[in-house]
Structures are given as C-alpha cells and as structure tokens.
Amino acid sequence: MALLDHSQRLHFESRLDTMSLSVSRASPGDWVKVGVLGERFWCLVKTVREDGMLVASVDNDLVACPWKVGDEVTLRRENVLEVASSTDRSQFEHMALGTGPRVEAAHRSVEAAQLWHYWRSSKRVGVTPRPNTQYMVGENIIL
C-alpha cells in the first residue's frame, strides 16, 4: 500500500456541513466517499486516529487520481462527502443482484449504483452527483 508524502498531497473536496450525522459516524469498516481532482470515489475506513483523522484505503478504480485500489489515504472528517455502512453496502449488493442476468455485468453494477444512489438520497445520506456524472466499473467508464 502506498502512502503519499507531502509533495504528493492532493486537494480533497470538502463538505460544508462537517457536523453532519453521517460524517460524524464514520468508523472502521465503513466506506466513505471522497472527491479529489474532480473524481469522487469510495474508501474503506481502516482506523480513526485520536485526532479524528480517518485512515482509509482506496476501494475503487480511478481515472484522474494517482492512487490505485488498496492505496492508503488519510482524511479529515470535512473531506468525507458521505458514509456507507456495511448494511448500506449490502443494500447495493442486493440491488446489483436484483437487476438480473439480462444485463451485462458492468452495466448491472452501474444500474445498481444509480438505484443505490437514489435510495440513499431518499434517506438524505447521499451527496448530489455532479452533472454528467460518469460511473467507473472496472476499466470501463459508463455514462
């Protein structure tokens, strides 16, 4: 796992309502969505330091960022755009299975991601996607 030194630090997107319940509840085993270089992606929280910083590993394939799946990043709570617990992720997996075998696997994952986002938005725990959001599934970018 690669750790970034000071010369490699990138500017993370910040959430204005840093005291949001969903952000404050991030704990080891949760997934947190962050944004860097215009790209939003999920990281798996490994530990929460005494100073409140989150140590997490990148959990997505990325396009714009220099990190790879498994690389470790350190995050401030205000850099967390949303939090997904293992229960939330189970809901995503259920939705992915529910789209059925009629859809190609990459498109099934994208369809499930879109459904999952709408479900999370209805619970008011998801961030609004940017216009023209592209979904990364494996090495494929799908609009």
- Of 84, 104, 130, the residue that ends a domain is 84
Q: Is 124 part of any domain? A: yes
- Say what the pLDDT of residue 96 is: 72
Percent of the chain at pLDDT > 70 equals 71
Q: Is 61 part of any domain? A: yes
Statement: residue 74 has pLDDT above 90: yes
Q: Is 52 part of any domain? A: yes
Per-residue pLDDT band at 69 (split at 50, 70, 90): very high
pLDDT in tens, 5-55: 433 467 888 876 544 545 567 899 999 999 888 888 989 999 999 998 999
pTM of the model: 0.72
pLDDT in tens, 86-108: 777 777 777 777 666 655 666 67
Question: Does residue 43 sit in the same domain as residue 92?
Answer: no
Tell me if 31 sits within 8 A of 83, measured CB to CB: yes
Residue 100 lies in domain? 86-142
* Phi/psi at 83 (5° precision): -125, 140
Tell me if 67 sits within 8 A of 75, measured CB to CB: no
Per-residue pLDDT band at 127 (split at 50, 70, 90): confident
- Say what the pLDDT of residue 55 is: 96
What DSSP state is assigned to residue 143?
A: -
Characterize 33-54 residue by residue with b for buried, 16 or more Cβ atoms within 10 angstroms of its Cβ, and e for exposed: bbbbeebbbbbbbeebeeeeeb
Question: Does residue 36 sit in the same domain as residue 74?
Answer: yes
Question: Does residue 63 sit in the same domain as residue 47?
Answer: yes
The amino acid present at 61, given as its one-letter code, is D
Six token digits for residue 57 = 């590993």
Q: Is 12 part of any domain? A: yes
Mean pLDDT of the chain: 76
Please enumerate, as own/partner, the contacts of 123-132 that have beta carbons within 8 Å and a separation of 24 or more. Answer: 125/22, 125/82, 125/83, 125/88, 126/82, 127/15, 127/33, 127/40, 127/81, 127/82, 130/40
